[in-house]
Structure 1
Amino acid sequence: MVSSRQVSADQHRDHTAADSHDLIQVRGARENNLKGVSLDVPKRRLTVFTGVSGSGKSSLVFDTIAAESRRLIDETYATFIQSFMPSLSRPDVDALRNLSAAIIVDQERMGANARSTVGTATDAHTMLRIMFSRVGEPYVGGAGAFSFNLAEGMCPECEGLGKASTLDIDALVDRELSLDEGAIKVPGYAVDTWQWQVIAGSGLFDPAVKLADFTPEQWEDFLHKPATKLKYGSSNFTYEGLASKVRRSLLGKDRESMQPSARAFADRALKLTVCPSCGGCRLNEAARSARIAGRNIAECAAMQINDLADFVRGIDNPAVGPVLDGLRSTLESLVEIGLGYLSLDRESSTLSGGEAQRVKMVRHLNSSLTDVTYVFDEPTAGLHPHDIQRMNNLLIQLRDKGNTVLVVEHKPETIAIADHVVDLGPGAGTAGGSLCYDGDLDGLRASGTLTGRYLDHRVRLREDVRKPTGFLPVAGATLHNLKDVSVEIPLGVLTVVTGVAGSGKSSLIHGYVAGGDGVVVADQSPIRGSRRSNPATYTGLLDPIRTAFAKANGVKPGLFSANSEGACPACKGIGLIYTDLAMMAGVASVCEKCEGRRFTQEVLTYTLRGRNIGEVLDMPVAEARDFLTERQARTILDRLVAVGLGYVGLGQPLTTLSGGERQRLKLAINMAKTGTTYVLDEPTTGLHLADVDQLLGLLDRLVEDGNTVIVIEHHQAVMAHADWIIDLGPGAGHDGGQVVFSGTPGELVADGTSLTAIHLRDYVSRP
Structure 2
Amino acid sequence: MDIRIRGARTNNLKAVDVDIPRGRLVVFAGVSGSGKSSLVFDTIAAEAGHQLNETFPPFTRNRLPKWSRPEVEEIKGLSPVVVIDQRRLGGNARSTVGTITDAWTYLRLLFSRIGTPHVGESNHFSFNDPAGMCPTCSGLGEVVVSAVERFLDLDRSLAEGAILLPGFGNGGYWYAQYADIGSFTADTPLREWTPQEREALLYGGAAAAALGVRPPADYEGIVARFERIYLHTSDNLSDRKQEAIARFTRSQSCPDCHGDRLNEASRGVTVLGHTIGELSRMEVTELADLVGRVTEPAVAPVRAALLDRLGAMVTMGLGYLHLGRATTTLSGGESQRIKTVKHLGSSLVEMLYVFDEPTVGLHPHDVQSMITLLRQLRDQGNTVLVVEHDPAVMAVADQIVEIGPDAGAGGGELVFQGRFEDLKAARTATALALAAQAPAKAAPRAATGVITVAGATRNNLKDLTVDFPAQVLTVLTGVAGSGKSSLAAELVAQQGAVVIDQRALSTNRRSTPITYTGIATPIRKLFAQASGLPAGHFSANSAGACPDCNGLGVIYTDLAFMDGQETVCQTCQGRRFTPEVLTHRVNGLSIADVDDLTIHDALDLLPDAAIRRGLGHLDRVGLGYLRLGQPLTTLSGGECQRVKIAKELRDSAEPTLYVMDEPTTGLHLRDIATLLRILDQLVEQGHTAVVIEHNVQVIRHADWVIDLGPGPGKHGGQVLYEGPVAGLKDTATADAIG
Q: Deviations over 1:330-357 (max 9, x none)?
A: 1121122111222212222322211111
Q: Give the CA deviation at 1:311.
A: 2.1
- 2:618 corresponds to 1:628: no
Q: Counterparts of 1:587 and 1:153 in 2: how far apart (Å)?
A: 42
Q: Give the CA deviation at 1:448.
A: 0.9
Matches within 5 A, 1:233-632: 243-244=233-234, 246=236, 267=246, 272-513=251-492, 516=495, 519-566=497-544, 589=566, 592=569, 597=575, 599=577, 603-632=581-610
Farther off after superposition, 548-557 or 706-715: 548-557
**Which of 2, 27, 31 in structure 2 is aligned with 1:52?**
31
Determine the structure 2 residue equivalent to 1:729. 709
Where 2:415 maps in the other structure, the secondary structure is strand
Matches within 5 A, 1:44-193: 44-82=23-61, 84-85=63-64, 88-165=67-144
Where 1:649 maps in the other structure, the secondary structure is coil
Q: Deviations over 1:213-235 (max 9, x none)?
A: xxxxxxxxxx999xxxxxxxxxx
Q: Give the CA deviation at 1:534.
A: 3.1
Kindly provide the amino acid, as one letter, of the partner of residue 611 in structure 1. L
Q: Deviations over 1:204-257 (max 9, x none)?
A: xxxxxxxxxxxxxxxxxxx999xxxxxxxxxxxxxxx9942537xx9xxxxxxx
Q: Deviations over 1:51-70 (max 9, x none)?
A: 01111111111111111111
Residues 520 and 301 (structure 1), Cα distance of their counterparts in 2 relative to 1, 3 Å cut: same
Where 1:246 maps in the other structure, the secondary structure is coil
Residues 528 and 35 (structure 1), Cα distance of their counterparts in 2 relative to 1, 3 Å cut: closer
Kindly provide the amino acid, as one letter, of the partner of residue 670 in structure 1. E
Determine the structure 2 residue equivalent to 1:25. 4
Where 1:671 maps in the other structure, the secondary structure is helix
Q: Give the CA deviation at 1:559.
A: 4.0
Kindly provide the amino acid, as one letter, of the partner of residue 94 in structure 1. E
Kindly provide the amino acid, as one letter, of the partner of residue 421 in structure 2. D
Farther off after superposition, 97-106 or 568-577: 568-577
Residues 717 and 262 (structure 1), Cα distance of their counterparts in 2 relative to 1, 3 Å cut: farther
Q: Counterparts of 1:57 and 1:262 in 2: how far apart (Å)?
A: 47
Q: Give the CA deviation at 1:706.
A: 2.8
Farther off after superposition, 620-629 or 485-494: 620-629
Residues 581 and 161 (structure 1), Cα distance of their counterparts in 2 relative to 1, 3 Å cut: farther
Contact 1:597–1:614 (CA under 8 A) maintained in structure 2 = yes
**Which of 609, 625, 637 in structure 2 is aligned with 1:659?**
637
Farther off after superposition, 527-536 or 476-485: 527-536
The structure with the larger Rg is: 2
Q: Counterparts of 1:322 and 1:588 in 2: how far apart (Å)?
A: 48
Q: Counterparts of 1:469 and 1:709 in 2: how far apart (Å)?
A: 13
Q: Deviations over 1:88-145 (max 9, x none)?
A: 4432111111111211111122243332221111110111111111111111111111
Residues 744 and 175 (structure 1), Cα distance of their counterparts in 2 relative to 1, 3 Å cut: closer
Residues 135 and 613 (structure 1), Cα distance of their counterparts in 2 relative to 1, 3 Å cut: farther
Q: Counterparts of 2:11 and 2:718 in 1: how far apart (Å)?
A: 46
TM-score, with normalisation over the residues of structure 1? 0.80
Q: Counterparts of 1:373 and 1:367 in 2: how far apart (Å)?
A: 13
Residues 612 and 397 (structure 1), Cα distance of their counterparts in 2 relative to 1, 3 Å cut: same
Q: Deviations over 1:677-696 (max 9, x none)?
A: 32221111111111111212
Determine the structure 2 residue equivalent to 1:764. none
Residues 601 and 452 (structure 1), Cα distance of their counterparts in 2 relative to 1, 3 Å cut: same
**Which of 668, 680, 693 in structure 1 is aligned with 2:673?**
693
Farther off after superposition, 354-363 or 102-111: 102-111
Residues 597 and 330 (structure 1), Cα distance of their counterparts in 2 relative to 1, 3 Å cut: farther
Where 2:682 maps in the other structure, the secondary structure is helix
Where 2:487 maps in the other structure, the secondary structure is helix
Where 1:455 maps in the other structure, the secondary structure is helix
Q: Deviations over 1:562-599 (max 9, x none)?
A: 455555666665556779999x9996835747665555
Q: Give the CA deviation at 1:306.
A: 1.9
Q: Counterparts of 1:575 and 1:534 in 2: how far apart (Å)?
A: 14
Where 2:691 maps in the other structure, the secondary structure is strand
Where 1:497 maps in the other structure, the secondary structure is strand
Kindly provide the amino acid, as one letter, of the partner of residue 760 in structure 1. I
- 2:674 corresponds to 1:708: no
Gaps of 5+ in 2: 148-164, 174-226
Q: Counterparts of 1:261 and 1:377 in 2: how far apart (Å)?
A: 41
Residues 261 and 696 (structure 1), Cα distance of their counterparts in 2 relative to 1, 3 Å cut: farther
Q: Counterparts of 2:91 and 2:446 in 1: how far apart (Å)?
A: 45
Determine the structure 1 residue equivalent to 2:214. none
Determine the structure 1 residue equivalent to 2:736. 759
Farther off after superposition, 601-610 or 710-719: 601-610
Q: Give the CA deviation at 1:405.
A: 0.7
Contact 2:30–2:668 (CA under 8 A) maintained in structure 1 = yes
Kindly provide the amino acid, as one letter, of the partner of residue 709 in structure 2. G
Q: Counterparts of 1:269 and 1:477 in 2: how far apart (Å)?
A: 25
Q: Counterparts of 1:28 and 1:263 in 2: how far apart (Å)?
A: 53
Contact 2:58–2:563 (CA under 8 A) maintained in structure 1 = no
Q: Counterparts of 2:96 and 2:549 in 1: how far apart (Å)?
A: 37
Contact 1:45–1:404 (CA under 8 A) maintained in structure 2 = yes
Matches within 5 A, 1:636-655: 636-655=614-633
Residues 84 and 495 (structure 1), Cα distance of their counterparts in 2 relative to 1, 3 Å cut: closer
Q: Give the CA deviation at 1:632.
A: 1.8
Farther off after superposition, 585-594 or 687-696: 585-594
Farther off after superposition, 502-511 or 608-617: 608-617
Farther off after superposition, 45-54 or 362-371: 362-371
Kindly provide the amino acid, as one letter, of the partner of residue 755 in structure 1. A
Q: Deviations over 1:426-445 (max 9, x none)?
A: 11111110000111112211
Kindly provide the amino acid, as one letter, of the partner of residue 591 in structure 2. I
Contact 1:590–1:596 (CA under 8 A) maintained in structure 2 = no
Q: CA RMSD in A?
A: 3.3
Kindly provide the amino acid, as one letter, of the partner of residue 156 in structure 1. P
Q: Counterparts of 2:378 and 2:695 in 1: how far apart (Å)?
A: 26
Contact 1:723–1:745 (CA under 8 A) maintained in structure 2 = yes
Q: Deviations over 1:386-422 (max 9, x none)?
A: 1111111111111111111100001111111111000
Farther off after superposition, 465-474 or 117-126: 465-474
Contact 1:118–1:348 (CA under 8 A) maintained in structure 2 = yes
Q: Counterparts of 2:110 and 2:469 in 1: how far apart (Å)?
A: 51
Q: Percent identity among equivalent residues?
A: 51
Where 1:496 maps in the other structure, the secondary structure is strand
Q: Give the CA deviation at 1:504.
A: 1.1
